Structure 1
């Protein structure tokens, strides 16, 4: 909300108790993350603002609503410091239904997946949607789109000129997920975004997995403030000693907390005040079964962090890292009234949630009906691909028959793929996938109607024995990704998603086994979180029925186009060697 002199006068009067509070929370134990104290205190709330904390009897008028906290702990609303909510396959509205009842009241996001499929017009619609949600989104303008080297295809290219416009928007709180390689390679759009942010006094958010030594020094000299991606605690320690705020990531597929928290529990407890949490990529299934940031707080306590410190990591630390602590992150006068009612600090079970001064959730459910907006044609899913045939998923060899040695991208985690050399047979000029050796075909199809790019490569680690699966949700460019043991099923999977306007599908022997529609931009849905979770489970089971033993076969597959982590990836531009920042030919050698 825009600040005016009149509004400021009203706020000051409310803070002084010259006008009655609209609500007062009584009988709770305040968890004061500013002073690291816990003590009895009441809270006066005026509109969406905390007006006073402590003895607030002078703030109570005849119409003031009294909320009985019943001895429960009053904790600030938690902040997810880095999240692609789109990877949950839930729209902003549906995502809020899942995470707000678990205590996440704010998130920092680039909403970049929406931008990749719908440009600034779609982004404006999502920003309007979030204003009607109980979940606050502190938006960081993506440093550029796409994030890929070499550049893949998206519907909208975010450039340094875009930054000159959008950094002036009220919704913009910084530059989002600035990937290290773009800084050190002196990419003009990236450096232009950072320079504009410097002049606008906006922070720059980072993405620097495995950055150490001189490369890290150069990255920091580029003006990056924080990072959310470290693969071991030694990396966390080096980054923190060099002045970075660090976010520890605990996502549905990357469980980094147990390792990275050692920087605090084993190396230096004073690091704790500059460590915060993020989930990055979560599924509806995990949020509903385990929780969200409440689960991360519990994991941190289990790892040896005391309750107050863990709560600070989920609240004020993140707010300070992103320079939004004047708005959120603590229960203090002048801040937004985002308050959690927690049964005990040991269990950290969030019983009720207040956001923006309103009680919105109880017993892990929203307490009112929240509806998604009517979707415009800009955000309605449409895949502008031509229908495929099986020949689109057959890798042509330079010989009619024989054998070739190929490079197969071998998955070692959701984002890490290593080189695996495999000998495959060639029949009638086609390289044959080999399920015995665990080598599948994987393809990315450009789906925005720009150039019709089609990339094809080999992948290992999924262990599919038959069938195929496909997804039109595939960060960071959200082109159509297809993987399979045979070309016929790959074509059927791709065509089904093209015809349906986006989603995720598993196919076997020409039959659609499971399908999750994603009609909003081809990447998310307005379905209830419970329905999405049920379909996620069925999709995963269908993939396991094909032979996969990965924790989340579909999610591991749709991360294949992410090039920001060495060594290998695939985009519509082709299979990518991210160590050397170039596309490569998967056929290494024709064998005699």
Structure 2
């Protein structure tokens, strides 16, 4: 029998038995046709590969991530994935949707069509995530129907406004869920349910939201599994007690590993889903269970029944490992063809102008001035008790504290306090909204940082310890049509340019990763003490992530789902 490729004597992972065994593997027309003991006596292959000493596993599958979190284009993202053994992803482009609406989604899908990695898109369901922020676009039922008719959509992306889902049947989130369940009953619905337990958790599942990828606790993960919720475990949830729990209990079918948000420097230096696989093994999980959770269960969750397995008729996406325990990648194959070889040069070229011209002119803000960072209050002199957003290392959640601040000539004297200022400015030219707050904790102690990479609305967000540096940082970002700028004593320490929608770069991954690393170091110089400082600052404007956040509408009490004043009367 004529086939394209025959790999002899390779140690193959069988997903159904969750075991390895030495076999020969035949590939025809981009799919596996045979896994067994027959070899060259039965097959005439165009290419014969000696697999002796190699371990063959299915290509890794990540079903919950945001390409925009890496701040690169789909082409660059695909380049980085392949060398890390990831061959299929399910991206949710809700950042581009927040900036450009429906066109943001369609352009991301268009930019993905010629990528090496298979990208099956999910529809952003929470754009905007709440009614308490201004975005550049929105996704509603009409846009969902258009995407379902015109694009290859695999699931409804994470339902983020869990407060609305469990408290008010008439909200936009519930209307979208009901529409999906009625019109597209087989479409997978993804969830975002941080800290929900007991009745509130069960209300979410009853509504149709049956997965969660947010930061888990042992109690939370046990309650979710007991209620039939599928767990998508990202790195910040990989505590020893949770890994031990997954190892000790028979829940292999009910969880997988996902990356969600990966910074470019981490992507380049540590890897992607393969990094989580190696970490899980080091924490005590059997290699067989790890591979299963990076291939088979994510494929089953998304009904991708043609992959995630090395078996007849399945897509021939696979990874050859040199060392199983080190998860050392030797080669990666996509659709039966070699896509990466550790011994061969692997270079990415720069691809500019991958999006429409309008995507490079999206920051519609005039230069800011010192008065834009003044907080005017009713009282002429005296003091006020004010809310303070407390940043804490180890989490993107914040806490609320109260602090007494002086007032002079109706101006809150925040620069004389122990706290910094956080401010946000609507940047789409829609209403000119702006809001101010106070910030403290594991955040900068000097200088200023400004960014349009601020989830999910991506308005201009500025934090700082003095007005002069805040003005400088803000105006640098405006001048460059988006990015992240770090300033100290009037000097720009680092400017990360993000010209596509104010959130993406078109630089090659290696170069951009170095720029992100430099940015992180500059933030650290200002005293930002956080395990992921870039993600920390970018989620200070995320009004669905507890507890006190800020949008152009004002300070948001996330748990109650409302706007609260800076000054506590």
- Shorter-chain TM-score tier: over 0.9
Q: Are 1:279 and 2:259 an aligned pair?
A: yes
What is the aligned partner in structure 1 of residue 79 from structure 2? Answer: 97
Distance 1:516 1:59, change over 3 A: farther
Q: Is the CA contact 2:6–2:24 (under 8 Å) kept in the aligned structure 1?
A: yes
193, 197, 203: which one aligns with 2:180: 197
88, 101, 109: which one aligns with 1:119: 101
- The whole-number CA distance in structure 1 between the counterparts of 2:375 and 2:8 is 68
Compare 31-40 and 305-314 and name the one that shifted more: 31-40
Q: Are 1:526 and 2:509 an aligned pair?
A: no
Q: Are 1:133 and 2:115 an aligned pair?
A: yes
Q: Are 1:290 and 2:270 an aligned pair?
A: yes
Q: Is the CA contact 1:276–1:318 (under 8 Å) kept in the aligned structure 2?
A: yes
- The whole-number CA distance in structure 1 between the counterparts of 2:382 and 2:401 is 20
Residue 73 of structure 1 and its aligned partner are, at CA, apart by 0.4
What is the aligned partner in structure 1 of residue 203 from structure 2? Answer: 218
337, 344, 355: which one aligns with 1:358: 337
- The whole-number CA distance in structure 2 between the counterparts of 1:204 and 1:435 is 49
What is the aligned partner in structure 1 of residue 246 from structure 2? Answer: 264
Residue 257 of structure 1 and its aligned partner are, at CA, apart by 4.4
What is the aligned partner in structure 1 of residue 224 from structure 2? Answer: 239
327, 334, 340: which one aligns with 1:348: 327
- The whole-number CA distance in structure 1 between the counterparts of 2:145 and 2:91 is 19
Q: Is the CA contact 2:359–2:500 (under 8 Å) kept in the aligned structure 1?
A: yes
Q: Are 1:504 and 2:484 an aligned pair?
A: yes
Structure 2 stretches lacking a partner, 5+ long:
none
Distance 1:91 1:50, change over 3 A: same
Compare 579-588 and 463-472 and name the one that shifted more: 463-472
Distance 1:541 1:126, change over 3 A: same
Compare 356-365 and 524-533 and name the one that shifted more: 356-365
- The whole-number CA distance in structure 1 between the counterparts of 2:382 and 2:116 is 61
Q: Are 1:48 and 2:30 an aligned pair?
A: yes
What is the aligned partner in structure 2 of residue 249 from structure 1? Answer: 234
- The whole-number CA distance in structure 2 between the counterparts of 1:114 and 1:245 is 26
Q: Are 1:165 and 2:146 an aligned pair?
A: yes
Structure 1 stretches lacking a partner, 5+ long:
1-16
What is the aligned partner in structure 2 of residue 186 from structure 1? Answer: 169
Q: Is the CA contact 2:384–2:568 (under 8 Å) kept in the aligned structure 1?
A: yes
SS in 2 for 1:52: strand
What is the aligned partner in structure 1 of residue 11 from structure 2? Answer: 29
Q: Are 1:430 and 2:431 an aligned pair?
A: no
What are the residue-to-residue correspondences of 1:71-86 with 2, within 5 Å?
A: 71-86=53-68
TM-score (norm 1): 0.90
Distance 1:274 1:372, change over 3 A: farther
- The whole-number CA distance in structure 2 between the counterparts of 1:85 and 1:257 is 25
Q: Is the CA contact 2:391–2:443 (under 8 Å) kept in the aligned structure 1?
A: no
Q: Is the CA contact 2:233–2:257 (under 8 Å) kept in the aligned structure 1?
A: yes
Residue 386 of structure 1 and its aligned partner are, at CA, apart by 2.0
What is the aligned partner in structure 1 of residue 296 from structure 2? Answer: 316
Residue 582 of structure 1 and its aligned partner are, at CA, apart by 0.8
What is the aligned partner in structure 2 of residue 14 from structure 1? Answer: none
Compare 483-492 and 39-48 and name the one that shifted more: 39-48
Residue 507 of structure 1 and its aligned partner are, at CA, apart by 1.0
Q: Is the CA contact 2:520–2:533 (under 8 Å) kept in the aligned structure 1?
A: yes
- The whole-number CA distance in structure 2 between the counterparts of 1:25 and 1:261 is 34
What is the RMSD computed on CA atoms of the aligned residues? 2.1
SS in 1 for 2:83: helix
Q: Is the CA contact 1:29–1:38 (under 8 Å) kept in the aligned structure 2?
A: yes
Residue 94 of structure 1 and its aligned partner are, at CA, apart by 1.5
Q: Is the CA contact 1:249–1:279 (under 8 Å) kept in the aligned structure 2?
A: yes
SS in 2 for 1:167: helix
- The whole-number CA distance in structure 2 between the counterparts of 1:568 and 1:366 is 47
Residue 551 of structure 1 and its aligned partner are, at CA, apart by 2.6
Residue 168 of structure 1 and its aligned partner are, at CA, apart by 3.0
Residue 165 of structure 1 and its aligned partner are, at CA, apart by 2.1
Residue 170 of structure 1 and its aligned partner are, at CA, apart by 4.2
Distance 1:372 1:196, change over 3 A: farther
- The whole-number CA distance in structure 2 between the counterparts of 1:379 and 1:43 is 46
- The whole-number CA distance in structure 1 between the counterparts of 2:174 and 2:502 is 31
What is the aligned partner in structure 1 of residue 312 from structure 2? Answer: 333
Distance 1:58 1:384, change over 3 A: farther
- The whole-number CA distance in structure 1 between the counterparts of 2:456 and 2:8 is 46
What is the aligned partner in structure 2 of residue 151 from structure 1? Answer: 132
Distance 1:542 1:367, change over 3 A: closer
TM-score (norm 2): 0.94
- The whole-number CA distance in structure 2 between the counterparts of 1:56 and 1:407 is 71
- The whole-number CA distance in structure 2 between the counterparts of 1:256 and 1:459 is 28
Q: Deviations over 1:394-453 (max 9, x none)?
A: 11122233222111011234421111111122233322235873x111111111121111
